[in-house]
Amino acid sequence: MEQSWRRAKAAFAAIALPPLTWLLLFFLIPLAVIWAYSFGENTGPVTIDLTGTFANYLRAIEPIYLEIFWKSILIAGLTTMLCLVIGFPVALAIAFASPRTKTWLLMLIMLPFWTNLLIRTFALVAVLRENGYVNFALEWLWNNASWAMTLAGFQPLGEFEPLKLLYNNAAVVVGLVYVHLPFMVLPLYSALDRMDRSLMEASLDLGAGHLRTILLVVVPLAAPGIASGVLITFIPALGAYLTPDLLGGTDSQMIANVIERQFKRANDWPFGAALSFLLMYLTFIAIAIQTTLQRRADRRGA
Amino acid sequence: MSEAATPRPRRERPGPLEYLRRWPLRIMVGGTLFFLYLPLITLMVFSFNDSRRNIVWEGFTLKYYEKAFSNASLIEAFTNSLTIAFATTILSVILGALAAVMLWRFRFPGKTAAEGGMALPIVVPEICMGVAMLVFFARVMPWPQGLPWPANLGAIIIAHTSFAFPFVATVVRARLASFNRELEEAAKDLGASEWRTFWDVLVPHMQPGLIAGALLAFTLSLDDFVITFFTAGPDTVTFPVKVYSMLRFSISPEVNAASTILIVVTVALTAIGLHLQNRNAQKTKA
């Protein structure tokens, strides 16, 4: 049983004070300061007056910024969906592998996770750029196809045009999927691993195919895992800064890039603060939706 | 999965639930691993390539490693990153363990709020935390300029600890769930002081959680770019920030070499950590 703090006041103080003080001083106060700034105005190059104005929030819901918010949600949503579509079969295969293979596959999925995010994104740039390996492979295929056509007596294909795979929205989505795939696979795996397999066997014995069994039996059983995988992929993807910055073009800015610009080049801290808090509220809404769905599912299950 | 234990002839059809032995899933898993590893492996391989264009293999060389090692600012950034990661790990393990014990052991008013507050740094988007730290260290608590190394890294260490210690707390608290509270009472009945009980009974039980948490804090700190990008000054550059600015100019094989070193360092440290943890787990079992 938990102990009441009154029964051991000294111990409680010694244990609770350091983490709580740290949290207050170096996390809550900084957040409170930008929250206050979001109601302020720039009155000089470095002075901000806290006037209690809502102008920053009004500016944030102008069409141009609303569009960026919407676009960030779309990109993060698409990323999450792709991660789910790729991650589910992978997690399924791992969950049903032999114990040895399972350990190895899990290690292989986790390993990129420990490598620096910046390095991973940079590695992707080297693969996707115009003189990168993907275009290199395509060129090779193209030239061979061209050679094969001349052998067959046709006109050779024209000069190979490298594809522009970088600096567009698709590159951002590819980059985000690349970075966030382990986030999706691990919760899915742990849900599938815990699942009661006799239900699947029953479904297969009663004549349902594999696809029907997976869609009608496995997916509902793994729903909590899917929901948490979706959430922990969606949240970081929504606030992603580095991926759109390095892989995106001029039109693929996400909300984090706009926030960064307000705090660095544009030097409009109050507006950047308002945008930050809007992004945070969006994150909280996503968490709240997930929690509500989860609770409803639990109640149905009980 | 009892049938997995019995040896089966090679060419038999896969059992109903052996999804990994079915070709669509094999292609899926293989494709995913290829997608995850192709960029990293090419990056590492081409750090040994004797060509500036960095695309055709032109022979083995170590010259980019020599270049990276003689690049003083790169080495400085690397040292900074490791120093910050070590300091962050120590602070986060202490604070995280205390937070975990606080939430596990006590009933107190405002506990739900404390739990929520501890979860906040985990869910708040990195960019928001980054700008909050920027404003905090610019206006509220300016970190003195021109301090000798490593004191000049203080602001970054504080920022990293703020997001890393709640992760440690989560890991340690999960471990504490399996602790038998009666052991603590027994120790106290036998006359051990509060401190002795904590140190000799609770801490040994928490140890695997502490190691896992330390590992997590270290990697989180070493990996972080966004929050550091906002807290770092011109003379406190970390490795990711340095690589980022090198990328802004041009992609040179030197960056490949430096990145390869960092990948090897992190993977090696994680392997050591996991090994320690496994050995510990076996010791507890035995």
Full residue range of the structural domain in which residue B55 is found: 17-64
What separation, in Å, do the N-terminal and C-terminal C-alpha atoms of chain A show? 26
Q: Is residue A262 part of a domain?
A: yes
CATH number of domain containing B80: 1.10.3720.10
Binary contact (A178, B39; C-beta < 8 A) = yes
Distance between A267 CA and the closest CA of chain B, angstroms? 12
DSSP letters, A33-84, are HHHHHTT-EE-SSS-EE-----HHHHHHTSHHHHHHHHHHHHHHHHHHHHHH
**Packing angle between helix A269-301 and helix B126-135, nearest 10 degrees?**
140
**Packing angle between helix A117-128 and helix A133-151, nearest 10 degrees?**
20
Query: Is the same domain home to B212 and B116?
Result: yes
Q: B176-189, pLDDT tens digit by residue?
A: 988 888 888 888 88
Question: Residue A236, preceding bond cis, omega within 30 degrees?
Answer: no
* Mean pLDDT of the region B156-162: 95
This complex has an ipTM of: 0.86
Tell me the C-alpha distance between A143 and A145, whole Å: 5
Position B55 pLDDT exceeds 90: no
| 3 state DSSP class of A292 | helix
What's the mean per-residue pLDDT of chain B?
85
Q: Which two tokens stand for residue A100?
A: 């040895």
Distance between A202 CA and the closest CA of chain B, angstroms? 11
The CA distances from residue A69 to A36, A66, A118, A253, A255, in Å, are 22, 5, 24, 10, 6
Q: A129-140, pLDDT tens digit by residue?
A: 877 778 878 888
Q: Which two tokens stand for residue B274?
A: 């996991």
Tell me the C-alpha distance between B69 and A159, whole Å: 41
Position A75 pLDDT exceeds 50: yes
* Mean pLDDT of the region A197-224: 85
Q: Is residue B2 part of a domain?
A: no
Query: Is the same domain home to B165 and B30?
Result: no
Query: Is the same domain home to B32 and B156?
Result: no
Distance between A154 CA and the closest CA of chain B, angstroms? 30
Q: A155-175, pLDDT tens digit by residue?
A: 777 777 777 888 889 999 999
Q: Which two tokens stand for residue B261?
A: 């070193």
What does the pLDDT read at residue B281? 66
What does the pLDDT read at residue B284? 61
A175–B contact, CB cutoff 8 A: no
Position B42 pLDDT exceeds 50: yes
* Mean pLDDT of the region B199-203: 90
Residue B62: count other Cβ atoms within 10 Å of its Cβ.
13
What does the pLDDT read at residue B12? 60
Q: Is residue A19 part of a domain?
A: no
Q: B24-38, pLDDT tens digit by residue?
A: 888 889 999 999 998
Q: Do residues B77 and B59 make contact, with C-beta atoms less than 8 angstroms apart?
A: no
Contacts of A54 (CB under 8 A, 6+ apart): A39
Binary contact (A241, B126; C-beta < 8 A) = yes
Distance between B148 CA and the closest CA of chain A, angstroms? 22
The CA distances from residue A23 to A31, B116, B121, in Å, are 11, 11, 9
Mutate which of B135, B161, B228 to disrupt the A interface (most A C-beta within 10 Å)? B135
Binary contact (B128, A277; C-beta < 8 A) = yes
Position A14 pLDDT exceeds 80: yes
Full residue range of the structural domain in which residue A94 is found: 63-129+165-301
What's the mean per-residue pLDDT of chain A?
88
Query: Is the same domain home to B74 and B32?
Result: no
Q: B207-256, pLDDT tens digit by residue?
A: 888 988 998 899 889 889 999 999 887 778 898 898 888 877 766 778 88
Binary contact (A94, B105; C-beta < 8 A) = no
Domain count, chain B: 2
What single-letter DSSP state applies at residue A4?
A: E
Query: Is the same domain home to B69 and B143?
Result: yes
Burial of B210 (0-12, 13-18, 19+ CB in 10 A): buried
What does the pLDDT read at residue A177? 95
Mutate which of A5, A109, A119, A129 to disrupt the B interface (most B C-beta within 10 Å)? A119
Query: Is the same domain home to B115 and B246?
Result: yes
Position A238 pLDDT exceeds 80: yes
Tell me the C-alpha distance between B194 and B188, whole Å: 7
What does the pLDDT read at residue B3? 44
Q: Which residues pair with A4 in a beta bridge?
A: B107
The CA distances from residue A129 to A17, A28, A122, A132, A171, in Å, are 51, 41, 11, 5, 10
| CA A137 to chain CA mean position, Å | 29
The CA distances from residue B92 to B86, B155, B165, B214, in Å, are 10, 15, 4, 8
What does the pLDDT read at residue B170? 93
Position A79 pLDDT exceeds 60: yes
Closest alpha carbon within chain B to A98: B4
Query: Is the same domain home to B213 and B101?
Result: yes
Q: Which residue has better confidence, A222 or A31?
A: A31
Domain count, chain A: 1
